[in-house]
Amino acid sequence: MRQVLVTGGAGFMGSDFVKYLLAHYPDTQVVVYDALTYAGRKENLAEVADHPRYHFVHGNICDLAKVRETLERYAIEVIVNFAAETHVDRSILDPDAFVKTDVYGVYVLCEAAKALKIQRLHHISTDEVYGPIPQGSFKETDGFRPTSPYAASKAGGELLAQSYAITYGLPVTITRGVNTYGPYQYPEKAIPLFITNAIDDLPLPLYGDGMQVRDRLYVTDHSRAVDTVLQRGQVGEVYNIAANQEKTNIEVARMIVEALGKPDSLIQFVTDRPAHDVRYALDTEKLRALGWEPQTSFAEGFSRTIQWYRERQDWWRPIKSGEYRDYYRRQYEARGAKPSEPAGG
Ligand code: TYD
């Protein structure tokens, strides 16, 4: 029996990974360790709540005593760290939580993993540590040029994990993924925000000219990639994860209004995000050499995601009418952004 701790396991990507592990590894016990901040939600794990190989611990990765106690109580062998503050716009408003969770929290996990001789610490990083790339794609050996407090915090956390691997021989692996989408994604991120706004005939706020490019990876392909690295990755190595399905934001916004039968005039250009990265792109040769490749085309993942948000209004409506409203208002006030003219037809 393998004992796996998934930190941030109640979040969007973490909860998908937890379900993936439970479905694919009958000998694995999965312990979710999650602070249940705004984006970590027990509802995301409702379908496995009574699973005999699943346990939940409410805790913060910045709490060393609680992390150690959890590792000991469940005799954890492997830690997969999904716990993070992840939203660029929030990091511009309030960087504090990003530095705490994404830097100090990773330090705590490294310390605890070192003290308890954990067999593997896998850390989820992001393409944003590299910064923007107008053309071509980044390899794992390329340098960091993060542009937002979020990206810089993720870079700091990742570098700490790497230093523990080099200095103390901690068995660390790292993945850097591109923009991931799918069911259960908190509706502050572009795709779920646009879908849920369009369902309600609200404007889709497109930053700047909407020509920024993102690669879009379906969440379960991301989970499979992390599993591939856990099974076949080399300790001490970093692996990029990408779908190589690039789209501009305006293309995505148009696909969403079209799929929902809404008018293009719902798409509204608003003041840009400061330091908005024009494009991210990653080379995935190293991960593909381990046998991974994405299985979900954008068309398929996109229509599955739209369908889910249509059906699961019980999941997102309470979110959008709660804490989120205040965040959304602050977001616009802080940037002086106002919805402007509708997109040209
Ligand atoms: P987001 O989902 O926040 O992810 P990231 O910033 O990590 O890439 O944003 C994806 C893209 O969509 C990014 O280029 C910013 C843009 N965007 C908008 O145009 N409008 C929005 O309301 C949001 C949230 C994002």
Among the candidates 196, 226, 241, a domain finishes at 241
Q: Is residue 58 part of a domain?
A: yes
The whole-number average pLDDT for the span 312-333 is: 86
Asked if 9 and 122 sit in the same domain, the reply is yes
CATH number of 197's domain: 3.90.25.10
Q: How many domains does the chain have?
A: 2
Best of 148, 196, 206, 251 for a ligand 1 pocket test (most atoms within 8 Å of beta carbon): 206
The whole-number average pLDDT for the span 280-307 is: 98
Query: How far does residue 87's CA lie from ligand 1's centre (Å)?
Result: 9
Q: Is residue 324 part of a domain?
A: yes
Q: 32 and 58 in contact (C-beta within 8 Å)?
A: no
CATH number of 51's domain: 3.40.50.720
Does residue 341 have a pLDDT over 90?
no
CA end-to-end span of the chain: 58
| Tens of pLDDT, residues 54-91 | 999 999 999 999 999 999 999 999 999 999 999 999 99
- Beta bridge partners, 31, equal 5, 55
Asked if 229 and 303 sit in the same domain, the reply is no
The whole-number average pLDDT for the span 276-296 is: 97
pLDDT of residue 322: 75
Q: Is residue 224 part of a domain?
A: yes
Asked if 253 and 234 sit in the same domain, the reply is no
Q: Is residue 230 part of a domain?
A: yes
The whole-number average pLDDT for the span 155-180 is: 98
Q: Is residue 121 part of a domain?
A: yes
pLDDT of residue 338: 58
The whole-number average pLDDT for the span 149-164 is: 98
d(CA 12, CA 189): 11
pLDDT of residue 65: 98
Asked if 202 and 223 sit in the same domain, the reply is no
Asked if 206 and 85 sit in the same domain, the reply is no
Q: Is residue 160 part of a domain?
A: yes
Minimum-distance ligand 1 atom for the alpha carbon of 208: 19
The better pLDDT of the pair 54, 341 is held by 54
Residue 148 CB less than 6 A away from ligand 1: no
Minimum-distance ligand 1 atom for the alpha carbon of 128: 7
d(CA 64, CA 182): 32
Which one of 34, 85, 102, 127 is the catalytic residue? 127
The better pLDDT of the pair 120, 327 is held by 120
pLDDT of residue 345: 32
Q: Is residue 343 part of a domain?
A: no
Asked if 96 and 17 sit in the same domain, the reply is yes
Asked if 139 and 168 sit in the same domain, the reply is yes
The whole-number average pLDDT for the span 97-109 is: 98
Name the nearest CA neighbour of 177 among 80, 84, 249, 282: 282
Whose C-alpha lies nearest to ligand 1, atom 25? 190
The whole-number average pLDDT for the span 27-55 is: 97
Q: E-strand spans in the chain?
A: 2-7, 28-34, 54-58, 78-81, 120-126, 172-177, 179-181, 204-207, 213-218, 238-241, 246-248, 267-270
pLDDT of residue 344: 35
Query: How far does residue 80's CA lie from ligand 1's centre (Å)?
Result: 26
Instruction: Please indicate whether residue 324 is annotated as part of the active site.
Output: no
Whose C-alpha lies nearest to ligand 1, atom 9? 190
Instruction: Please indicate whether residue 127 is annotated as part of the active site.
Output: yes
Asked if 133 and 210 sit in the same domain, the reply is no
Minimum-distance ligand 1 atom for the alpha carbon of 280: 8
The whole-number average pLDDT for the span 270-292 is: 96
- Both structure tokens of 31: 């312990």
- Both structure tokens of 151: 């990206």
Does residue 335 have a pLDDT over 90?
no
Which one of 16, 77, 85, 128 is the catalytic residue? 128
Does residue 154 have a pLDDT over 80?
yes
Distance of CA 327 to the CA centre of its chain: 19
Instruction: Please indicate whether residue 258 is annotated as part of the active site.
Output: no
Residue 193 CB less than 6 A away from ligand 1: yes
Does residue 139 have a pLDDT over 80?
yes
Q: What are phi and psi of 238, to 5 degrees?
A: -115, 140
Whose C-alpha lies nearest to ligand 1, atom 22? 205
Residue 179 CB less than 6 A away from ligand 1: yes
Asked if 39 and 157 sit in the same domain, the reply is yes
Helices (H), 200-297: 219-232, 249-259, 285-288
Asked if 6 and 35 sit in the same domain, the reply is yes
The better pLDDT of the pair 71, 330 is held by 71
Asked if 60 and 100 sit in the same domain, the reply is yes
Residue 249 CB less than 6 A away from ligand 1: yes
DSSP 316-336: HHHHHTTHHHHHHHHHHHHHT
Query: How far does residue 31's CA lie from ligand 1's centre (Å)?
Result: 31
Does residue 240 have a pLDDT over 60?
yes
| Average pLDDT, rounded, for the chain | 95
d(CA 31, CA 56): 6
Q: Give the range of the structural domain holding residue 151, as residue numbers without chain letter.
A: 2-180+217-241
Asked if 260 and 148 sit in the same domain, the reply is no
Residue 154 CB less than 6 A away from ligand 1: no
Query: How far does residue 189's CA lie from ligand 1's centre (Å)?
Result: 6
Q: Is residue 127 part of a domain?
A: yes
